[in-house]
Amino acid sequence: MTKKVSKPAEIRNRSRFSKFYFWIIQAVVTIVAVFLITRQNSSENAQTVVKNDAASKPPIPNNVDFMVQVLQKSGGKNICLPNGNIHGTHIDFESIEAINEKVTKILSRVVKTPFFRKIKIDLNRDCLFWENDDVCTQKECSVEQIDLSNIPSKWKTRADFAPISNSPFQKMASKRVEKVSSKDFAVVYDETDTGPEGMWVDLVDNPEKFTGYAGSSANQIWMTIYQHNCFGVSPYMTSTASGWGDQKTGTDQSQNPFVNPPDKKSALAQFLMDLGEEDSSDYTLKAQVPMEFQMFYNAVSGLHASTSTHICYDHYDKEKNVWSPNLGCFIARIGSFPERLRNIYFNYVLLLRAIQKASPFLQNYDYTLSSSEPSKTKQAIRRLTKLLAPVQDSFDETSMFHSKRTLSLLPEFRTTFQNISRIMDCTGCETCKLWGKTQILGLGTGLKILFSYDKEELSSNFDLVDIKRNEVVALIATFNQFSQSLLDIKHFRSMYQKMLFKYETSGKIEL
């Protein structure tokens, strides 16, 4: 017989089941709510941590950010630099890139002409600043001398400064000016001197490149220039300052003489900050000095960077026995000092403006090797100056050395720049000395044009202009060196982009 459950009992059981079911649902809801709240808090905490980490990290210095942009700009654009004007000029980076694309071909042809590829220079002067028995015996350090019989006779006489007949230059033929005049910014070697100390050299056959020179004077030269000849403007320098040898860069040279750039774009900024050895706080000191001295430092710094760029581009790989661009070298030498990289562009503008100002003088100069030879070189120079003519107000030399206070600085400025010419005598590497002295002479000639002559003198009164043949050669050769530096920078950026692509596909870094 089946026992029947009373209705009150059935109701009580249903009530208990309902309460039990309610507790389960309540527990599940509570767990879900706790989970969601915890997840939200975790997300907020994570965001807070990220913000705090970002806030705690030091901001990327502008000079490092500049170098990051140089290496990471896409190769599909005709620029490799950020927007904005080049400091100390009135022109932007993109414009300079565009100008260089137009002039680089004609400029490279000009420097290969017989007139511009030969220069007479003294590579045997004694070092006046310290005892120097440091001599580089490697093949790459030596310079091949041109036989005197291969030099046009008109270059070896003082009359060679007089161009074609009826030219306003002819009054210069009988003039003899001292090697260092009141207008000179560099030590100018007189090619007409018959002394045995000077030698004729072919600049094309002896290019600026990696020599492996790492003597004691390699570092000391640039250190001396920065520490004692930059009016206290230059930042703190270290032993990696040299632009010629194989100096250490904070890496294990037994494994690799240079640094491997990071394989991730996001790591490049921190990498350059770690690599950098100049204290960024020192840059604030520059605003406290006259802009004329700032220009001096920019010129020296840009030359240093350009030299390093050429060395890294034309670098010798001993293991492979080949000459090729070395990205690790570029990162180590330039990545540590992006301020110098910026000043490559400054020097380009400085020389561009000097060539513009001296265009009438340069267009009327006599570039022929003999009186019966038509001057194709003159045609090329006129084409070059025509390409540069549309560039307006890139550099305003009239804003400098015009007040009583700054005008009194001009003699010291000249003397100090001449001093750098003499410091170059202290290197034991002939190739380094050749290009160091040639480019200092080129920059000095540019400064001479900008600050020693007015526009009228360079436009018509050519007989009053004391610019010698080797100064003209050095001016154009140095402008070409900076032009090539801009092309080299673009090439290194392309190498870095390709390296990143290879890493993404293979996981290996190959320089």
| Rounded average pLDDT over 149-168 | 59
Among residues 451, 373, 417, the alpha carbon closest in space to that of 187 is found at 417
The dihedrals phi and psi of 315, each to the nearest 5 degrees, come to: -105, 140
Q: Three-class SS of residue 322?
A: strand
Out of 80, 329, 426, 429, pick the active-site residue: 429
> Tokens at residue 416, please?
């100090």
pLDDT of residue 45: 53
Residue 37 has pLDDT above 60, yes or no: no
pLDDT of residue 111: 97
Residue 243 has pLDDT above 50, yes or no: no
pLDDT of residue 31: 58
Least reliable range by pLDDT among 12-21, 212-221, 471-480, 484-493: 12-21
Neighbours of 226 (CB within 10 A): 19
87 is known to lie in a ligand binding site: no
Among residues 457, 481, 484, 439, the alpha carbon closest in space to that of 357 is found at 457
pLDDT of residue 9: 53
Give dist(CA 190, CA 252) in Å, integer.
Answer: 46
pLDDT of residue 200: 93
| Rounded average pLDDT over 465-490 | 95
| Rounded average pLDDT over 82-100 | 85
pLDDT of residue 79: 33
Residue 490 has pLDDT above 70, yes or no: yes
Among residues 428, 437, 417, 424, the alpha carbon closest in space to that of 221 is found at 424
80 is catalytic: no
> Tokens at residue 246, please?
């194989």
Distance of alpha carbon 69 from its chain centroid, rounded?
15
Give dist(CA 163, CA 174) in Å, integer.
Answer: 13
216 is known to lie in a ligand binding site: no
Give dist(CA 203, CA 16) in Å, integer.
Answer: 104
Residue 141 has pLDDT above 60, yes or no: yes
pLDDT of residue 204: 96
pLDDT of residue 221: 74
Contact between 205 and 414 (Cβ < 8 Å): no
249 is known to lie in a ligand binding site: no
Residue 129 has pLDDT above 70, yes or no: yes
Out of 136, 230, 312, 432, pick the active-site residue: 432
377 is known to lie in a ligand binding site: no
Contact between 205 and 142 (Cβ < 8 Å): no
432 is catalytic: yes
Q: Three-class SS of residue 201?
A: strand
- Pairing between β-strand 118-122 and β-strand 322-324 as defined by DSSP bridges: unpaired
Give dist(CA 436, CA 34) in Å, integer.
Answer: 73
Residue 288 has pLDDT above 90, yes or no: no
211 is known to lie in a ligand binding site: yes
| Rounded average pLDDT over 297-313 | 90
Which ranges constitute the DSSP H helices of 207-334? 216-228, 268-275, 291-313, 327-334
Q: In the chain, helix, strand, coil percent, each to 5?
A: 60, 5, 40
Q: Which residues pair with 317 in a beta bridge?
A: 322
pLDDT of residue 347: 96
Contact between 298 and 234 (Cβ < 8 Å): no
